[in-house]
Every structure is written in structure tokens, then in C-alpha cells.
Structure 1
């Protein structure tokens, strides 16, 4: 019975992950908007340029400035941030339709490792912790089961998660800086060789935190919403109930997980060159630098594509799961 839960959850997760992959890619690109490390000059360097190196024919004040005087040139404005539709259209126009599925091989591996583990473990814990008399499981136990299953699943699937983020983000880099991974196998092997095996678990703490939040909010809330709908007689147990409970669960998961997801994406995507200081010293450092330079709402970057993905992903996940359960019921 326990093994069946892993198989059912794995099949549903792979179908859901592949079908919503373009939305996930757009979300990752949006979460990296405004990140420091672009080719924008350092404001302090600009402000201390000598007139000879900051000459402008349109500025009489610059021409008259005495040698050795520091110039105060306005800080360049960051490029405007664009929405999910614009990001998707730009990817399609500049990189082609295939780019919308960049990293899909990593998605398949990630869902096979991470989601199969979390869905299966949640199902096992659900069976153990469900009240045999009422047939229901208290919400606190559902949340606890989600936290445990999500944390273990994240540890198993982190290498595929890192590879997926990098492959999705690669197209936004200048051509000479792209990693150009051939596939998830190539990404994982090159990371291990060039950056060490430990790089495969970069951001693993964040991945675990996000996975625990997503699993607890997504699976627990789906079960809770479904039970409430059925108990109150609002709908019968069928497709309508599954879709309604799924959308509600997807919204809860998106709101709860987006801040951790933004930081996870940035930590996993950062380039660490030999002999150079890494952009971030960890999750807390990344969060602080992000909020200081871009504001608190930067933690909700990519929320529109996140909710746009979480909704369909959760619906496809649970609708597929319910159908797979019916098919495998006799096994």
C-alpha cells in the first residue's frame, strides 16, 4: 500500500511538472530581475571619476571643473521590470519556442526524486495518522506530515533542483557567460567537477524550507478543503470538488512559499568564480541584500507567474492523482 502512494504521486507530479514548465521558467526569470551583478557600473566608481575620464560635450560644468575634482553623475536607472506575459513573449522572440522548455529534463528528474518522495511519504503518514473511527486526519497532523515529507523530499531532489534553476536562467545571460548545459545529466556532472559535489546541494536549506512550506500548505490544505466541501455537502466527490480544492490549495502554497522561492532561486543561480567572493554568503545574506537594494516586495517577485503556475500545477497534480488512484485501485 505504501509503495503505491509513491508511484501514484510520482506519475501525477511528473505530468503536472512538465505541463506547467513554461510558467515555472517565466517565474524564475522574473525572480532574477533587478538582481545585483549585472553590468551596470558601480555608482561609487562613477561619482569619483576625474573629469578627463567623464568628459561630456553637453556639460559646460564638466568642462570647467578643475583637475582632481570629483564629479557627481546621477546613478543610472535600473532597467524597467516587466510582467510575465512580456517575459514569455521576449523569451519566445529572442530564444525560440523551445526555450520555454529549457530545463524540462531537470524538471522530470526533480519530480521523480523530490515529488515522488514527498507525495509517497505524505500518503504513508496520512494512513498512519488518520483516525480509524472518523476516517479523518486533524489539520495539525496534516501540516506535520507535510513538513516531514517535504523536508525529506527536498534533500533527495536538491541536485535536480539546482540544475533546473540554472538551465531555466541560462538564456538571460550574455552568450559568453552562458553555461549551455546539454541536459540535466551534463549539468549535474559539470557542477560536480567544476564546483565540487557540495555545489549540488547549494541552497539545500532553502530548498528544504520551501519544500516543507509547499508540501504542508499544498497537500494539507487540499485535503482540508476537499473534506470541508464534502462534509458541508457543497459538491459531490468528483472533478468539480477536486478542481476547486486544488485551486484553493495552490493559492495558499504560492502565498506561503514565494519569499523562500525567490531567495532559493538567487542562491542556486549565483556564479561562484575561483578566488572571488561569492555574491551571497547564504540565505540570510541573500535576503538582506535583496530587501536592501530592491525593497521588501522583491520577495514576492514572480508572484503572478507563481500563482499562475501553482494553480494549474496543483489542479493537474491532484486531478491526475485522483484518476491514477482509480486506475491503480485494484492493484
Structure 2
């Protein structure tokens, strides 16, 4: 039944997003632009700071609770974005499936380019649905990095969404929707297609039997490919979402990319890559292993 794919995907995504949230927070902190008042020496030091140092600094300055800043927004985002993208991906694959090979297998009988196209479509629609929660998430995760007098101190995702809409307009909830949709299309297509193909390769070549080892191995490959493909767009998305209404720092995605490269060098687009990878890899493992287990539980419904 069609509803199962949405329920399975949403539940697995919420579990994975909650468990890997501290890694996502560190990634966002690393991707945000250098604070305006920082000296050149401080800016250079910040650019060289690794994820472990950022995590320790958050713990020292803000406490352990800060590592879960925005977790309510993360749960809402997964509930909207990932439920939509994973459910649609399966629905589109089902609609496009070619029955000539093995009607019982959802992966072996669909060409890889069709899986990739299904991921692009599903990711784009999912991102459009989940963008307000994504804006709230970035704002809440980055709040502790701001000077004390500039902090927004949202009480939760509901408070963040209401205040952003009231103070900056409802349209502000779709700030950065362009790069968000682009990133989601890239991530979903790369991650889900790679997972399907890797699982097919491992099981089909007899390297691993269908089961936990295959799911973990395919998940790790999918996480790496998605990280490499999405990091530049993720940096742009994070920077555009972090600014408030009326801030004309960036006129669009391309302008943000150009200013980032001019000001900090091309590798600035890969700032936060290590935490992106260290988050994407466990996220993918938890996501797909949980998803496979939920599918097994619901197979008779």
C-alpha cells in the first residue's frame, strides 16, 4: 500500500535525525560565515578549526544541552522533508518499474537513471514541504554562535516558526528554498540511488547476503557519495538561511557562492565536510537499517 512507504520513511528518518543531531549542529556551526567583528587572525583560526574543536567549544561555552539545540525543529524537518522524499521515491519507483526482470524486486527491475530521476523529483518536493522547519533548525543551531545581544533564544520550533513569520513575514520561512531544494535533489538522488545500487551489487555478486551486513555496507557508500555531492550546496543553504529578513548580504544562491569563494577561497564550499561525512555516514546507516527493519515489521500490512 502507498501509505506504508511514507510511514516507514518518516519513522526511520526521525530516529536517524534525532540520534545524529549533535553532528549536524557542529556541521552548521562550521559552515556559518566568520563573525563580522572577528580579527583576521581569529578568522584564519576559525577556518582551520576541526569538528572536534567546535564540539568541545560548544560544550565549554554553552553546555551539553547546546548540542541538541534545535532538535525539535530537526524532528519536524524529518517528519515533513524525509517522510515526503522517501515516500515519493518509492511511489515513483513503483509507478516506473519495468516488470520484465523480476516483478517482486523493487530495485533490480528499474534502470539506474530512472532511480536517479525519482530521487531528484522526490527530493525537490520534500525540500519545498520541509523548508520552514529547515529555516528554524538553522536559526536555532546557530543561535549560540551569535553575540549575546543578538541571540534570538527561540523556545522551540513552534516559537521559532511563529516569530519568524510574525517579525519577518511568512515568506521568510522559505528563505534559502532555492539551494535547499537543489541540495535535497542532489542528496536524495545520490543517497537513495547509491544505496539501491550498492545493495544490489553486494547481494547480487554474492559478497554479502541480503541482511544487516549488506544494509550497513550500502548505507556507508550512500552516505559518502551524498556528502561529496551535496556539501557545496549545503554551505550556501546554511549561510542564506542564517540571515534575517532585510539582510541584503546575499542576493541569491549564485551571489552567495561567489562571495564565499572570493572571501574565503574555493575550499570554503567544503567547510564542514568532515562533520557532514561523520554525520551522513551514521545517519545513512541508522536511516536505512531502521527503514529495512520497519519494512520487515509492516510487510504483512
Give unpaired runs (5+ residues) of structure 1.
42-74
Q: In 1, are the aligned partners of 2:59 and 2:66 still within 8 Å (CA)?
A: yes
Offset, 1:76: 6.0
Q: Does 1:159 align with 2:129?
A: no
Query: Which residue does 1:38 correspond to in 2?
Result: 36
Offset, 1:78: 2.5
Query: Which residue does 2:195 correspond to in 1?
Result: 222
Which structure features the higher share of helix residues?
Answer: 2
2:255 aligned to which of 269, 282, 285 = 285
SS of 2:155's partner is coil
2:51 aligned to which of 72, 80, 84 = 84
Residue deviations 1:19-48 (CA, integer Å, cap 9, x gap): 00000000000011xx2551147xxxxxxx
Q: Does 1:110 align with 2:108?
A: no
Query: Which residue does 1:310 correspond to in 2?
Result: 280
SS of 1:80's partner is helix
Residue deviations 1:287-311 (CA, integer Å, cap 9, x gap): 1100001000000000000000000
Q: In 2, are the aligned partners of 1:126 and 1:145 still within 8 Å (CA)?
A: yes
Q: Does 1:134 align with 2:101?
A: yes
**Counterpart Cα distance in 2 of 1:303 and 1:258:** 6
2:269 aligned to which of 281, 299, 319 = 299
Q: Does 1:328 align with 2:298?
A: yes
Instruction: Give the CA RMSD over aligned residues.
Output: 1.2
Q: In 2, are the aligned partners of 1:139 and 1:224 still within 8 Å (CA)?
A: yes
Offset, 1:281: 1.1
CA shift in 2, pair 1:313/1:329, >3 Å: same
Query: Which residue does 1:187 correspond to in 2?
Result: 160
Offset, 1:133: 2.5
**Counterpart Cα distance in 2 of 1:318 and 1:7:** 14
TM-score when normalising by structure 2: 0.95
SS of 2:45's partner is coil
Q: In 2, are the aligned partners of 1:217 and 1:253 still within 8 Å (CA)?
A: yes
Q: In 1, are the aligned partners of 2:34 and 2:43 still within 8 Å (CA)?
A: no
**Counterpart Cα distance in 1 of 2:35 and 2:256:** 13
Q: In 2, are the aligned partners of 1:271 and 1:278 still within 8 Å (CA)?
A: no
SS of 2:120's partner is helix
Residue deviations 1:56-91 (CA, integer Å, cap 9, x gap): xxxxxxxxxxxxxxxxxxx76634021000000110
SS of 2:131's partner is helix
2:235 aligned to which of 256, 262, 275 = 262
- Runs (4 or more) in structure 1 with deviation over 6 Å come to none
**Counterpart Cα distance in 2 of 1:90 and 1:185:** 28
